[in-house]
Structure 1
Amino acid sequence: MEAKIYDLLDEKFAEEEFTDCFLIELKLHANNKLDIFIDSDTGITFDRCRKISRYLESYLDESGWLGERYTLEVSSPGVSRPLQLLRQYPKHIGRKLKVKLKDGSELEGTLTEVGDDQITLERKVVERQGKRKKHMKVSTEIPFGDIDGALVQISFK
């Protein structure tokens, strides 16, 4: 059944209004609850989530894939969920990220660039030079394959 839902989403994302949308995650729970997290290159709106939800509901109701009683939630991943796909990064250029690497280490900095297979973070570092401290900005390229997860850091300054 999940394959059928993937196919339905592919069809919807081929429509002109939804060509910049993509699937982040699909979770089918034991109690007939289906969670679908989507995103887009320009940001996802409530209206777009609602349209995709209605589209899927019509198929689920007609086919009975989840039975007569089910819960369907279509939403954006939100800021509390880590970025999972390289495609999610470009719209966050200029924002601060906390990146957890697969080796267990973490880096925090401002996302300055997104390449085909890596991101670049600009970090502020303090280096001691004798009794003085020198504040510097360092750019670090991180291969996407080394990233375990990245969270956008929200600032209220």
Structure 2
Amino acid sequence: MSRKVTEIVEELLKDILEQQQLELVDIEFVKEGKNWFLRVFIDKEAGVDIEECGIVSEKLSEKLDEVDPIEQNYFLEVSSPGAERPLKKEKDFLGAIGKHVNVKTYEPIEGSKEFEGTLLSYNEKELTLSIKIKTRTKEISIPTEKVAKARLAVTFS
């Protein structure tokens, strides 16, 4: 099949997640050591529990067996995105405004490729963070096309 595994899995998940009133956060198909892993991260407003992960895993496994889009052996993992949830879609970023985030960029901005601070604003062109540098606070704007990865970040006070 020419389509990427993640695209096929996303399509297979649509009805399953809709029936369970769950949201797809992310899909990864990665090789770690000699094993392949298909990881599906799901969520809902109140958070997901292990039972919901099990239901999605079982239903997705049945559909994957029918369609058989993956040649190699792999492990299927369905879980919550956790406290450090990735930010990928516009609604993820908008929902994270005012929260502590970690952003990695493709290329250095003001000499750095990693930033951690409070997300102040987001639009399709850029996001603005308030970051602490020793004793002072600084605002930095990052063009969205330069964002490699972004996620919520846990802070310990």
TM-score, normalised relative to structure 2:
0.65
Q: Which runs of 5+ in 2 are unaligned?
A: none
SS for the counterpart of 1:89 is: helix
Give yes or no for contact 2:17–2:56 (8 Å, CA) kept in 1: no
Per-residue CA distance 1:23-76 (angstroms, 9 max, x = gap): 522316597854223244737413443332121123245x28379x86321123
How do 1:80-95 and structure 2 match up within 5 A? 83-95=87-99
Number of equivalent positions: 145
- Deviation of 1:8 (Å): 1.0
- 1:156 counterpart SS class: coil
Aligned to 2:40: 37
Q: Percent identity?
A: 26
Larger Rg: 1
Residue 110 of structure 1: how far off its partner (Å): 0.6
* Alignment partner, residue 119 of structure 1: 127
Corresponding residue for 1:24? 26
C-alpha contact 2:126 2:144 (8 A) present in aligned 1: yes
- SS of equivalent to 1:45: coil
Deviation at 1:82, TM superposition (A): 5.2
* 1:50 match: secondary structure: helix
1:148 to partner: Cα distance: 1.7
Contact 1:99 1:147 in 2 (8 A): yes
- Contact 2:26–2:42 (Cα < 8 Å) also in 1: yes
Misfit runs of 4+, over 6 Å: none
CA contact (8 A) 2:21 2:44 kept: no
Helix, strand or coil for the counterpart of 1:98?
Answer: strand
Structure 1 residues 92 and 145: CA distance shift in structure 2, 3 A: same
Q: Quick one: distance in 2 between partners of 1:43 and 1:140?
A: 32
> Aligned-pair distance for 1:112?
2.0
Per-residue deviation, 1:107:
2.6
Corresponding residue for 1:146? 146
**Contact 1:36/1:74 (<8 A) preserved:** yes
Q: Which moved more, 1:107-116 or 1:84-93?
A: 84-93
User: If the length of structure 1 is used for normalisation, what is the TM-score?
Assistant: 0.65
